[in-house]
Structure 1
Amino acid sequence: MAVTPALVDSHCHIVFRNFDDDLDAVSQRWREAGVQALVHACVEPAEIPAIRALADRFPELRYSVGVHPLDTQHWRDDTAAVLRQAAQDDARVVAIGELGLDLFRETNLEQQVAMLEPQLDLAVELDLPVIVHCRDAADPMLALLRQRAERGACPAGVMHCWGGTPEEMAAFLELGFYISFSGTVTFPKAEATHACARQVPADRYLVETDCPFLAPVPRRGKRNEPAFVASVAARVAELRGETLTQVALTSTSNAARLFSLPLHNV
């Protein structure tokens, strides 16, 4: 019987209500698929108690704390302090985020930056990586991160759910970021993402589901779940001309290094 290679779903959202009725079955499927660890992203502070409860329930789960760029209405004067306390209270917090910029759905760049900067500051203060959401906003994100890098205030992190060009990828790699591929890498028309998967250095990529969104082919349009990260890894392997085992070992090692995950044999 073939041994399933260990995988890390480096970005998921199983706290969402569409997992309420069958989460035990979902967890059984991710374990059967070889998912050894999950990193649960946070989109706003009200989620933190429920995500923490999931970490209590599933020992392989680690999580981030942060505010998504499309959730600026949840940013308050004390939000940075709330995130700091949450991160300091639980060693299972391994990142700040999901933070970033999104100019695909919104145009409030100034407001998003005003929320992004203190979260980046917090990541530097706590020496935690960031999980970056960047949609139609590569230029302003790169400008901001380069300015921070010049003064030694750019944290480590990952560009989650990568959908940019190879040129944009190279710029984020130069800043030290990892690149994470989601179900979009399985979409036939995602040619730029395919090119990035081929070109990204072996020590700088992760795989993720971003579930319940972006289910990979052949499940596109249905609810995504952590087990389907195996389909993402398989497509990355195909694009790179490697085996699934190679991609699983490499992406798992990269995720363990970035997020300080307590994994064995990586």
Structure 2
Amino acid sequence: MAAAVALESLDAPLIDSHCHIVFRNFDDDLEEVAQRWRDAGVGRLLHACVEPSEIPAIRALADRFPELRYAVGVHPLDPEHWQSNTPAVLKAAALDDSRVVAIGELGLDLFRDKNLDQQLVMLRPQLDLAVELDLPVIIHCRDAAEPMLAELRERRGRGACPRGVMHCWSGTPDEMAGFLELGLFISFSGNVTFPKATDTHACAQLVPADRYLVETDCPFLAPVPRRGKRNEPAFVAAVAERVAELRGETLPAVARQSTANACALFGAGLHNV
């Protein structure tokens, strides 16, 4: 209830910087979901992409909901969707629609699979594409901070490290410091509301004010008290409220700062919210 009251005084819209409303579990009630995110003060959504076949459907969602911007990319756990022409497909999609504001979600995930070499084969061309197109990247990194930092540091050494965001942050403060040193932003999702997520709590307290975003990663990781249920963009307000609590700030202040940070990272495509 506190979040609902606080939302009445928001003087800046929230941005859900990472969502997946293209998934089938939104098919039956997406208009109602949209009304709820608008009622919650969400002025922009950034839709991530996990594999190229999603792109036409995500683009159709952007046509349907003018507040939506999107990324194009291949998730590290989807190697079956990577083909020799995939970089060209992603490039064409990015160049064809100004609402594409990022490449991703891309990254490394060694929690479930240990195929690091195969994941690097997908990761590196996407990072190259982001540099070529001067777009930020949305990075998925789970149990893979060390190889991800090594890859990005090597790229920085030769001037080929794109700007971007570590999405759905769940790492340690030390790992966060490494990514911040590379110029990356840190995005907090519903897991920041989980009582036992102590590392994530510490990161939310320590991250510089101009380097954090908020997101849902819906339909995954619904925040407390909706944990275990379908997540949706409106619930980014609960994420922002928890970040505010951890930082000793007000919800309107976090809304203003996280929105300004998202606009700084993703550019003109998120302005005028």
Shared fold, TM over 0.5: yes
**2:140 maps to amino acid:** H
1:178 to 172, 185, 188: 185
Q: In structure 1, how many angstroms separate the alpha carbons of the residues matched to 2:40 and 2:63? A: 21
**1:34 maps to amino acid:** G
Q: Which residue number corresponds to residue 101 of structure 1?
A: 108
1:131 to 138, 149, 174: 138
Q: Which residue number corresponds to residue 215 of structure 2?
A: 208
1:155 to 159, 162, 176: 162
Q: In structure 1, how many angstroms separate the alpha carbons of the residues matched to 2:208 and 2:77? A: 30
Q: In structure 1, how many angstroms separate the alpha carbons of the residues matched to 2:266 and 2:33? A: 23
Q: Which residue number corresponds to residue 49 of structure 1?
A: 56
Q: In structure 1, how many angstroms separate the alpha carbons of the residues matched to 2:79 and 2:126? A: 12
Give the deviation of 1:168 after TM superposition: 0.3
Unaligned runs of 5+ in 1: none
Give the deviation of 1:263 after TM superposition: 2.7
1:264 to 257, 262, 272: 272
1:145 to 136, 144, 152: 152
Partner SS for 1:100: strand
1:252 to 237, 242, 259: 259
Partner SS for 2:18: strand
Q: Which residue number corresponds to residue 231 of structure 2?
A: 224
Q: Which residue number corresponds to residue 76 of structure 2?
A: 69
Give the deviation of 1:46 after TM superposition: 0.2
Q: Which residue number corresponds to residue 192 of structure 1?
A: 199
Runs of 4+ in 1 over 6 A off after TM superposition: none
Give the deviation of 1:174 after TM superposition: 0.2
The percent of aligned pairs where both chains have the same amino acid is 76
Give the deviation of 1:92 after TM superposition: 0.2
CA RMSD of aligned residues (A): 1.0
Q: In structure 2, how many angstroms separate the alpha carbons of the residues matched to 1:262 and 1:98? A: 18
- Does the 8 A contact of 2:169 with 2:200 survive in 1? yes
**1:263 maps to amino acid:** H
Partner SS for 1:123: helix
Q: In structure 1, how many angstroms separate the alpha carbons of the residues matched to 2:90 and 2:68? A: 18
**1:241 maps to amino acid:** G
1:47-74 CA distance string (max 9 Å, x none): 0000000000000000000000000110
Does 2:40 match 1:3? no
Partner SS for 2:22: coil
**1:86 maps to amino acid:** A
Q: In structure 1, how many angstroms separate the alpha carbons of the residues matched to 2:249 and 2:155? A: 36
1:110-168 CA distance string (max 9 Å, x none): 00001100000000000000000000000000000000000000000000000000000
Q: In structure 2, how many angstroms separate the alpha carbons of the residues matched to 1:59 and 1:66? A: 21
Q: Which residue number corresponds to residue 84 of structure 1?
A: 91
Give the length in aligned residue pairs.
265
**2:158 maps to amino acid:** R
Q: In structure 2, how many angstroms separate the alpha carbons of the residues matched to 1:242 and 1:33? A: 19
Give the deviation of 1:257 after TM superposition: 1.1
Unaligned runs of 5+ in 2: none
Give the deviation of 1:6 after TM superposition: 1.1
Give the deviation of 1:9 after TM superposition: 0.1
Q: In structure 1, how many angstroms separate the alpha carbons of the residues matched to 2:19 and 2:156? A: 28
